Structure 1
């Protein structure tokens, strides 16, 4: 059974960086057999109704501005997978989750930037899934749980977001990490490794610096969804954690 992952996508320019995190992502594919398909929940794909994105070939969305010209020339022409998309729709229906197809939206940087680092050849079919910040954390978890059987077919599920993601607090050019960001991620690590869903579902009330780390929840949701896909084995493993700009966390969690 292939693991699921939560992968922080950091700043859009991550795909141009050369650091410990990008090196880690460049080697992540070696941990597993080549997936049959990749299902990715991106923090930047927000919908009120759960959307299942599929295209013959995905367009590349440049949902950022002010970055080097090279960023706007990058593409990630992954194929879609209608069969997997239909299966996802069936699993959602089976679990009482209302969903719809989206056949027009390409891959945003939350999806293509990390995929380009992990699977640069864009030779694995992709299905893109939206997030809904209005759902409870328990509902997010159940969203992932509903898709967990896909892992038995060597379909990789990725949640792309960020644990500490407060753009108003980032310190451009700062190399050291601020203590408050580490403190939040330490708390998060202990709760994930213990599979303490009760605390995790109430992280903003219980976690130190919860509101500072997660001022809006769209980047945190993919972590809860990815965790839900591991409900059967309940094993969470931190594979990497570093920071950029003082407090923007770059982390990868594996769920089995």
Structure 2
């Protein structure tokens, strides 16, 4: 079976699920670039748990985990089936470090992006949580263990933001603050040079890393994706920009 790529999406505002803009238009172009997956494993920033969990429901529920947005956003449905088979394989790969948990479903880190990439919701999707207790290196190592799924037709999707500091968001700003651009560029240059240890040790970016985020929830999905990539992959950068001062939309495809 053809090896699937791995994908990190800077998902930004939930409104990207329904707005036509430069970011959502790039998401919509992805199916023409990559093979059709047998299933999608989504590592979403918005399932932030103590320990690692995976959904194995055959019909995952919608999670509207955002507040204060237009009613239209809460009417969005994405009724993709789950994948008990690949969830079980994921648990086998991660062994006792992961548990099944169907109290969650598909949150907006998953459906806001996937409804633009695969709008027919006809590809099975299951979610892996981000362990709030784990350091960056462990997130990367979990990605390494998940790499085998690529050879089974599974698209591994990380959904988060490389820069995500909501306390410093400026709704009137189009680009990013200097520190946001600096951190985003640090991550990008090290990914493209294959210096993944410098991404794991993101604090080496200096002062910009202290502003980029206050928790690993949105940054960690990138680490899973990098762990699941390998030396033969070519990295493509798209949606390369920061918005609202303190969010990065920069995204990566490894194929």
Same fold (TM over 0.5): yes
Paired with 1:28 and 1:213, the residues of 2 have a C-alpha distance of 27
1:30 equivalent among 32, 52, 68? 32
Structure-2 change in CA distance of 1:2 and 1:206 (3 Å): same
Q: Which runs of 5+ in 2 are unaligned?
A: none
Query: For the Cα contact (< 8 Å) 2:53–2:100, is it kept in 1?
Result: yes
Q: How many pairs does the alignment contain? A: 253
Residue 239 (structure 2) aligns with: 240
1:65 and 2:63 matched: no
**SS of equivalent to 2:168:** coil
Paired with 1:221 and 1:121, the residues of 2 have a C-alpha distance of 28
Shift of 1:145: 0.8
Shift of 1:173: 2.7
Residue 20 (structure 1) aligns with: 22
Residue deviations 1:99-131 (CA, integer Å, cap 9, x gap):
111123211111111111111111000111000
**SS of equivalent to 1:237:** strand
Query: For the Cα contact (< 8 Å) 2:169–2:247, is it kept in 1?
Result: yes
Residue deviations 1:142-190 (CA, integer Å, cap 9, x gap):
1011011111122100011100100011111322332221111111111
Shift of 1:205: 3.9
- TM-score (norm. length: structure 2): 0.94
Q: Name segments (4+ residues, structure 1) moved above 3 Å.
A: 205-208
**SS of equivalent to 1:209:** helix
Paired with 1:218 and 1:106, the residues of 2 have a C-alpha distance of 17
Q: How does 1:198-217 map to 2 (within 5 A)?
A: 198-217=197-216
Query: For the Cα contact (< 8 Å) 2:51–2:133, is it kept in 1?
Result: no
**SS of equivalent to 2:252:** strand
- TM-score (norm. length: structure 1): 0.94
Q: RMSD value over aligned CA atoms?
A: 1.5
Shift of 1:222: 0.3
